[in-house]
């Protein structure tokens, strides 16, 4: 099935003039960076480009065709000269008050895309109005909202921006960011692991913002896992129901195994990642954590704890957590820490662990290569 980029014209490919009507060459101004990055999208990514635009009253006295087509055709030719070819153009000629089924955000012009030939769920509508976002909603796609604070078309949508928020995959005014967003697919996933001892559900977004919702039944363990999300700048939801009436061992071990396996799954092909990644001081303590998502599991642990418990978490399980994580994630982990305060020491380790992950999973959109001479990770 084909993925589609439904692209608006005015305010998206070209700048919107003060009178909101481009009917003369002196009004034509291309959107910054559009040629550079739309060409990259057209040549590097697997999207069919489709132009979708409302042109109020095209063909009437207020918007004569003889003024519209020369400018429009020149614009299309400029894109074609740069290797940017639209598979189709859909132009609605009605006024907003007509409430025509063919006018965005309605889908009357686009019924041919509701077929097995197109993957609308993984398609996007790119535009500068909320009508474009609502069109994405009506198509079952996602919106890329170019927000130049013009607030045009708000009277034509049946939903508020807040209600449309779940359908906005990216809000920006940069074609560079649009390219990066489409090139670097969102790395998120979830995993469930159920045994006789534990029932675990984890959701992870490696490209998140540090949000977490964690409940393992062990408050201090929750606090440490929250450090991974917050300092690793990833979204992490963890729900664990374990046999804590027996011991903490299974809850901690199985969480680490599942979390590691989810990291391995979510990293995908690992193209463009840094692969390696941290040294972090915390008051009296210094923690050094080096990680390598190289496909081989190994743990070096050089950290001693004199207390038996911190909170309700056995200190003997710290090493076991990281060993289980390396098994699941197929990564190499080297951890060293020293200091006098035991709480600070393990918290510094988890923070450094999070920072090392953040460093290692970072991607470079311009260097999507595998960081290995072996040709595989």
Write the pLDDT tens digit of every residue in 358-368: 999 888 777 66
Note the pLDDT of residue 19: 87
Residue 175 CA from chain centroid, whole number: 16
Tell me the residue range of the domain where 207 lies. 188-361
**What are the catalytic residues?**
8, 10
In a domain, 150, yes or no: yes
In a domain, 367, yes or no: no
Whether 150 and 271 map to the same domain: the answer is no
The size of the chain, in residues, is 377
Note the pLDDT of residue 20: 84
In a domain, 373, yes or no: no
Tens of pLDDT, residue by residue over 269-292, are 777 777 777 777 778 888 999 999
Whether 172 and 235 map to the same domain: the answer is no
In a domain, 158, yes or no: yes
Higher-pLDDT residue of 268, 258: 258
Tens of pLDDT, residue by residue over 101-131, are 999 999 999 999 999 999 999 899 999 999 9
Of 176-185, 295-304, 324-333, 362-371, the least confident: 362-371
Say whether 361 sits in a helix, a strand or coil: helix
- Please, are residues 187 and 267 in contact by the beta-carbon 8 Å criterion? yes
Buried b (16+ CB within 10 A) or exposed e, 200-234: bebbbbbbbebebebebebebbbbbbbbbbbbbbb
Q: What DSSP designation does 339 have?
A: -
The confidence band for 369, taking pLDDT boundaries of 50, 70 and 90, is low
In a domain, 366, yes or no: no
Whether 161 and 195 map to the same domain: the answer is no
| Backbone angles phi and psi of 311, in degrees to 5 | 65, -130
Nearest to 191 by CA among 251, 266, 260, 258: 258
Whether 168 and 247 map to the same domain: the answer is no
In a domain, 130, yes or no: yes
Whether 26 and 100 map to the same domain: the answer is yes
Average confidence (pLDDT) over 38-44: 93
Average confidence (pLDDT) over 85-103: 96
Tens of pLDDT, residue by residue over 207-223, are 888 999 999 999 999 99
In a domain, 110, yes or no: yes
Of the candidates 133, 166, 183, which is a domain's last residue?
183
CATH number at residue 13: 3.40.50.1000
Cis ω before 105 (30° cut-off from 0): yes
Bridge partner list, 4: 48
The confidence band for 372, taking pLDDT boundaries of 50, 70 and 90, is low
Bridge partner list, 188: 205
Q: What's the rounded Cα separation, in Å, for the pair 83 and 225? A: 48
Whether 15 and 114 map to the same domain: the answer is yes
Whether 236 and 339 map to the same domain: the answer is yes
Whether 141 and 177 map to the same domain: the answer is yes
Neighbours of 17 (CB within 10 A): 16
Helix (H) or strand (E) holding 130: helix 130-139
Tens of pLDDT, residue by residue over 44-76, are 888 999 999 999 999 999 999 999 999 999 999
Q: Are strands 47-54 and 3-7 parallel, antiparallel or unpaired?
A: parallel
**What mean pLDDT, rounded, does the chain reach?**
92
Whether 91 and 192 map to the same domain: the answer is no
Nearest to 93 by CA among 117, 68, 120: 68
The model's pTM is 0.64
Q: What's the rounded Cα separation, in Å, for the pair 54 and 58? A: 9
Neighbours of 308 (CB within 10 A): 8
Q: What's the rounded Cα separation, in Å, for the pair 71 and 77? A: 10
Neighbours of 102 (CB within 10 A): 17
Average confidence (pLDDT) over 302-306: 95
The proportion of the chain whose per-residue pLDDT surpasses 90, expressed as a percent, equals 78
Whether 139 and 199 map to the same domain: the answer is no
CATH number at residue 270: 3.30.230.40
In a domain, 90, yes or no: yes
Note the pLDDT of residue 48: 97
Q: What's the rounded Cα separation, in Å, for the pair 181 and 303? A: 40
Residue 336 CA from chain centroid, whole number: 32
Tens of pLDDT, residue by residue over 315-347, are 999 999 999 999 999 999 999 999 999 999 999
| Backbone angles phi and psi of 259, in degrees to 5 | -65, -40
Note the pLDDT of residue 99: 93
Whether 195 and 261 map to the same domain: the answer is yes
Of the candidates 140, 155, 183, which is a domain's last residue?
183
Of the candidates 183, 211, 231, which is a domain's last residue?
183
Q: How many independent structural domains does the chain possess?
A: 2
Say whether 52 sits in a helix, a strand or coil: strand
Whether 10 and 77 map to the same domain: the answer is yes
């Amino acid at each position: 099935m084909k993925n589609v980029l439904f692209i608006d014209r005015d305010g998206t490919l070209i700048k919107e003039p003060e009178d909101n009507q481009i009917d003369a060459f002196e009004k034509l101004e291309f959107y910054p960076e559009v040629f550079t990055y739309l060409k990259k999208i057209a040549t590097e990514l697997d999207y069919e480009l489709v132009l979708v635009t409302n042109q109020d009253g095209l063909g009437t006295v207020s918007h004569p065709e003889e003024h519209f087509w020369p400018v429009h055709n020149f614009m299309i030719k400029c894109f074609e000269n740069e290797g940017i070819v639209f598979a189709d153009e859909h132009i609605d000629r009605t006024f907003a008050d007509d409430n025509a089924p063919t006018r965005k955000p309605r889908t009357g012009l686009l019924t041919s895309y509701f077929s097995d030939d197109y993957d609308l769920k993984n398609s996007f509508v790119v535009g500068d109005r909320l009508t474009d976002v609502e069109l994405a909603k009506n198509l079952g796609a996602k919106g890329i909202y170019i927000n130049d604070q013009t607030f045009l078309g708000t009277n034509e949508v049946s939903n508020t921006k807040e209600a449309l928020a779940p359908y906005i995959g990216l809000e920006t005014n940069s074609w560079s960011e649009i390219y990066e967003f489409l090139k670097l697919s969102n790395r998120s996933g979830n995993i469930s692991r159920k045994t006789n001892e534990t029932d675990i559900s984890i959701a992870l977004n490696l490209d998140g913002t540090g949000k977490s919702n964690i409940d393992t039944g062990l408050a201090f363990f929750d606090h440490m896992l929250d450090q991974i999300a917050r300092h690793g700048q990833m979204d992490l939801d963890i729900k664990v129901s374990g046999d804590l009436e027996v011991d903490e061992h299974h809850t901690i071990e199985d969480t680490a195994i599942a979390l590691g396996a989810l990291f391995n799954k979510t990293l995908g092909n690992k193209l463009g990642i840094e692969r390696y990644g941290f040294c972090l001081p915390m008051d009296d303590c210094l923690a050094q954590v080096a990680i390598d998502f190289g496909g081989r599991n190994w743990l070096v642990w050089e950290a001693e704890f004199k207390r038996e418990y911190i909170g309700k978490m056995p200190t003997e399980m710290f090493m076991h957590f990281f060993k289980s994580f390396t098994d699941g994630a197929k990564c190499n982990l080297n951890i060293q820490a020293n200091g006098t305060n035991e709480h600070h020491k393990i918290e510094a380790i988890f923070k450094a662990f999070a920072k090392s992950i953040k460093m290692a999973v970072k991607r470079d959109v311009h260097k999507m290569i595998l960081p290995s001479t072996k040709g595989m990770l």
